[in-house]
Structure 1
Amino acid sequence: MSDSNTTHFTNPSTFILLGIPGLEAAHVWISIPFCMMYIIAVLGNFIILFIIKTERKLHEPMYYFLCMMAVIDIVLSTCILPKMLSIFWFNSREISFNACLTQLYFFHSFSVTESGIFVAMAFDRYVAICDPLRHSTILTNTVVAKITLSAVLRGGILVLPYPLLARQWPYCGKNIIPQPYCVHIAVVKLACADTRVSSYYGLFVLFCVLGLDVIFIALSYMQILRAIFRLPTKDARLKTFETCSSHLCAILAFYIPGVFTSLMYRFGHNIPLHFHILIANVCLLVPIMLNPIIYGVRTKQIWGKLLWLFTWKRT
């Protein structure tokens, strides 16, 4: 590809993913923890899906939402990690323009969808604690299916302008992405046009969509905490709060790194590039890896079933 800044073309045939620039010599070593996180994430989420599918006692709204989150985490890690590892192991840096936009779309749309699932899980906990007698009538299987479908459609529709806008921009010979995968802002920066529409829309999705999700979750937990503190005994308060603890841990693991990396990418111009990219990838993969661990260890029903499976296999 030409390095000229004057040669305009609408669709470059390929992009070059650099992995982690400045740490090429350490790519093989960096791939080891990333590969382990990927294996743990995929295996852990499949185990969660298997346990919930086979244990009829877990066929409840909370666990249906957990299944959806497990599927999302598998898709998110799989659309990112295989290409990343091929760069680290085989120096396979090329990715076609269409494949890059596809990866970009799936990554961002499923991230927004996962945020919606967290809101749904917060609503489920709110109803279960604040109005337990009506929980089964409010969150029926039909309602759960509609909420899940709404979260998927919201993510898919809101992120659709990302690749559509990126496709229409002219590019000027620069096809190098200093990342191990395609993300919206990295692709937009390669265009030689006024891309403020894409940047502003990306900020809109970040602050208005994810920000509103955080507000809804916070409001739900304010009501939950009020209901918990009204309980008569300390043991009752602790027992009720434990039903929300795994969800709270997963929320913190998802939103804090996500907001941090998004803001760092846009405004952290003084941060060394290799450090920026390394931290961004760690912040992406750690929550995906932690979700099945958090729910597997802190949810008694899942943990009990998991122990039973391993005990049964040994006997």
Structure 2
Amino acid sequence: MKYDREEAYLREKLTDGLHPADVDLWPAVAEHLPDARPARHWRRLCICLAAPLLIAAGVLAGTAEFTNLRENPRPSFAPEANTGYAITYERQYFTLDGDLMAGLVANHNGETAADGTKPASGSMSGSLHPSEKDMRNVYAKAARGYGSWDEMTAATGLPLVQNAVLDAGETDDGSAIALFTDDLPQIPVGTDGRVFMVLPEEYPAGFIPIGRGETPEKLYLRVSKKLGDYRVELMAVAYLGDSPQETATAIFEEKSAGLTWECESYPMANGNTALIPHCTSNPTSMPWTQSVAYFAQDGILYKAICRPTGNWFNASQEDIWAELKVILDGFA
């Protein structure tokens, strides 16, 4: 097989009636196709974004691009991917505040930082989390919690986007990050007193560093807020170091092989463009898969999710998207 063109031909024949079936056969076939050819130069296509636009295959939108990996399997920038979708953007690398980096290293080595911060493991609740792969490579004992996104921005020195709408929201009952230190109080549970519950320190904003080297390679930064009947989470992935800017790709929903996607390009009030994937194969029973938006700004990739505070089905998908766009228009 000669990879992309023949792979696309095979998919067309499987889905155009040659072997009709009630179940989509393509995901199972795609997982067992041979490896793709080596990556080659990726050529971008620019389009006019005068209004929101739905495109199934790929769309260049400001600083980020959506690629449907089922319809465009194994692209040159993600040669092993054939399910889910990819978000491609121009990644930049950053240097953290020197005192903060020294504190992270000290905590990672089991020591208290110069500012008194103790080593702590971090846990993020809610819907947005680091990837499974990155959670296996956590820069241990160096998580941080903050009272607000603005406070975290000042502490890290990173050019994080600001949002007045989110700032005005209530502190979420489900914290953005919980920190566990070795000296947390333990409460006996049960009459025998042998089972203990550790009470973590909870914060509305914070980050978990990732990396197995002497210093972390990247940070997952997160904030969670309540806005009326909705809970909003924002996560940023910032890469650290002195490498030059590069084109990078993040892949999402790759394990949901049976889902199909279109992407809405939403012009944000600040002139950027957000990408809102729409699930076309199971749009009503899985609203959590399509209530997210992605955008990149200043070399950092962001993911936002908006959901009802109660049951997911307490609001229509159209209402969720409308609230999500209010949040997107709040970014400076």
User: Same fold by TM-score, threshold 0.5 exceeded?
Assistant: no
TM-score range, shorter chain: under 0.3
TM-score (normalizing by structure 2): 0.21
